[in-house]
Amino acid sequence: MSATFHQTTVQRCPVHEGAEPSRLGAAVSGGTAPGESREAPVADWVTLDALHRDPFPLYRRLREEAPVHWIPALNRYLVTSYAACHAIEQDEATFSADERESLMKRAMGHSMLRKDNPEHQRDRDSYGKTLRPATIKKHWNGIFEQNYVDCLRRLKKAGPGADFVWDFAAPYAAENLRLVMGFQNATEADMQRWSQTMIDGTGNYADDPDIWAKSERSSAEVDAAIDEMLPYFKDHPDHSLLSGLASLPIPLEAIRANMKMTIGGGLNEPRDVLATTVWALLREPEQLEAVVADPSLHTAAFEESVRWVAPIGMYPRQVARDTVLEGIRLRRGDRVGVAIGAANRDPAVFEDPESFDIMRPKKPHLAFGGGVHFCAGTWVARAQVAQIAMPRIFDDLPGLRLDESSPAVAGGWVFRGMLEMPVAWD
Amino acid sequence: MPNITFVQPTGEAVELEAAEGTSLMRAAVSNGVDGIVGECGGQAMCATCHVYVRPEHADGLSEVTEDEDEMLDCTVAERTERSRLGCQIAVGLEHDGIVVDVPSGQV
């Protein structure tokens, strides 16, 4: 595609087609202003169990008291206001992604997600154009559509009472990811197992040896699968990530770590946003009616869903130099959790933030992260969920509804999504 | 230091000085200019630092790259022949006095 400044062709992005221009996003100032500062209050009443069940009431109470707390149960600071989370995202020099004693490094290797620039950028650039909108439009949307048809058939075969997460959303996201990454030597079930076991390792704060054993087994399987595919792609290039990496002079260690991070982030997130959005719409008949009448609203429903329940609810940072964050003192070496799941419900930015409302005025949410670590899979997620699966699922399953006899269950806070979601249809 | 003016859809103008070599996006975000989000920190990956460069200031800017071109197809406000991503415009002394319009929406 040739591109000059005087481009006259106005070709709209398929993800935004038909969407109304939104209202201006509010700029929120954060920053590490010097001046009056205090120590972070201690929140010893926050427990891991309560966060897992439903973090949002805890976030509300924390946010009302201070933007940053010391949480003994987490052995780190937790940042819950939008302004403070936003300030961290914009200041990588003060808030390093390269956390010491990182469980993610142990489970997946040292990926770009835990590197600072310039190292991070070199890794990120190695992903090339695979995840960009033009490649998605040209190569992936057709594949996602075929996978949708196959997974829908699978859901229908399971029949009413099937679980929307495990009989549809998970295999759909896994198969899409398998092909985008280029794992022709694996199955979607392998992708699901690898993703879950390595993510469990990433969150293994209890140091459970069984969890480490499973995570390490998956890590070794992924290494073997990569080793097998890289030489193949040298002779048979395609548009996948592994194919792109096969021709670049990148250390194998970096390829392995980045691919494992991508297996984690590229599967659970589209799976969870798809299930959460369907769940939310099924509980809000007026909003469901609106998107069925005007499919362009699926884009708004997707963005509202990730604001409301960010699939990645928290990520870690390490303080690189003494600083003051929104009035709270932090010191070099302190570890913080950036609770974007909390920031996205900050009433200072979002009106009536606890409710799911696809018609709310659009404002920038933090669900994809911000700054240089902005999610590289954002456009793939938007395409497969908002553009392909969401607009079709309600047409293809008339009368789709939650199975009242077996209530849906959501869980998690570092990663949050639907754990069980039985559905029925006519 | 080069001077940049951001004109809001309301007509309100914000004038600021930028460090030489910084991007239009970075200058706007660090000065809290409304309507410039810069979600992806300058990777041409989010299309939330869309600006319309006034025609009289278009000369001498870097050409639109392929990556920028495809992201400009994903802007929320209408793309025009004046559309650029602020993160892809490095502001040099030769751009002193540049004026850009902020679109009606970025997300």
- pLDDT tens figures, B11-42: 999 999 999 999 999 999 999 999 999 999 99
CB A29 within 8 A of CB A309: no
Q: Which candidate from A19, A372, A379 shows the least CB-CB separation from B43?
A: A372
The distance of B57 to chain A (nearest Cα, Å) reads 12
Q: Which residues of A touch B69 (CB under 8 A)?
A: 1, 3, 7
Q: A293 and chain B: CB distance < 8 Å anywhere?
A: no
**Shortest CA gap B1–chain A (Å):** 23
Interface touch B76/A303, C-beta < 8 Å: no
Domains of chain A: 6-424 (1.10.630.10)
Q: How many residues does chain B have?
A: 107
d(CA A390, CA A164) in angstroms, rounded, equals: 13
Give the type of residue at A420.
E
What is the pLDDT, as a whole number, of residue A388? 98
Q: Which of A4, A5, A17, A28 to mutate to test the interface with B (most CBs of B within 10 A)?
A: A5
Contact A81, A67 (CB under 8 A): yes
The minimum CA-CA distance between B31 and chain A, rounded to whole Å, is: 9
CB A165 within 8 A of CB A271: yes
Nearest CA in chain B to A6: B81
Record: contact A1-B32, CB cut-off 8 A: no
Q: Which amino acid is at A44?
A: D
Mutation site, B74, B84, B85, B87, interface A, largest A CB count within 10 A: B74
Contact A330, A323 (CB under 8 A): yes
Report the percentage of chain B scoring pLDDT > 70: 100
List C-alpha distances in Å: A64 to A67, A69, A310, A342, A413: 8, 11, 20, 11, 19
Supply A308's token pair.
Answer: 């409301």
Indicate which of A374, A378, A380 best probes the interface with B, i.e. most B CBs within 10 Å of its own CB. Answer: A374
Provide the 3-class DSSP secondary structure of residue A163: strand
Positions of E strands within chain B? 3-7, 13-17, 50-53, 83-85, 98-101
CA torsion, ordered B75, B81, B85, B90, to nearest 10 deg: 180
Angle at A374 between CA A12 and CA A277, to 5 degrees: 70
Q: With contact defined as beta carbons under 8 Å apart, do A165 and A416 qualify?
A: no
Sign of the CA dihedral running A391, A392, A393, A396: positive
Domains in chain B (CATH in brackets) are 3-101 (3.10.20.30)
Residue A17's pLDDT is what?
Answer: 40
Chain A interface includes B79 (CB < 8 A): yes
For the record, the structure tokens of B81 come out as 């022949």
Q: For the whole model, what pTM was predicted? A: 0.91
For residues B13 and B4, the answer to whether their CB atoms sit within 8 Å is: no
What CA–CA distance (Å, rounded) separates A349 from B37?
A: 14
Chain A positions touching B64 (Cβ under 8 A) are 3-5, 7
Phi, psi of B14 (to 5 degrees): -115, 120
B95 alpha-carbon distance from chain centroid: 12
The Cα A198–Cα A201 span in angstroms is 5
Q: Give residue A29's pLDDT.
A: 39
Predicted confidence at residue A197, as pLDDT, reads 97
Q: Give pLDDT tens digits along chain B (107 positions).
A: 999 999 999 999 999 999 999 999 999 999 999 999 999 999 999 999 999 999 999 988 999 999 999 999 999 999 999 999 999 999 999 999 999 999 999 99
A309 DSSP β-pair partners: none
Q: Report the distance separating Cα A129 and Cα B96, nearest Å.
A: 34
B59 in contact with A, Cβ within 8 Å: no
Per-residue pLDDT of chain A (426 residues; tens, 9 = 90+): 333 333 323 344 444 443 333 322 333 334 444 568 999 999 999 999 999 999 999 999 999 999 999 999 999 999 999 999 999 998 999 999 999 989 999 999 999 999 999 999 999 999 999 999 999 999 999 999 999 999 999 999 999 999 999 999 999 999 999 999 999 999 999 999 999 999 999 989 889 999 999 999 999 999 999 999 999 999 999 999 999 999 999 999 999 999 999 999 999 999 999 999 999 999 999 999 999 999 999 999 999 999 999 999 999 999 999 999 999 999 999 999 999 999 999 999 999 999 999 999 999 999 999 999 999 999 999 999 999 999 999 999 999 999 989 999 999 999 999 999 999 999
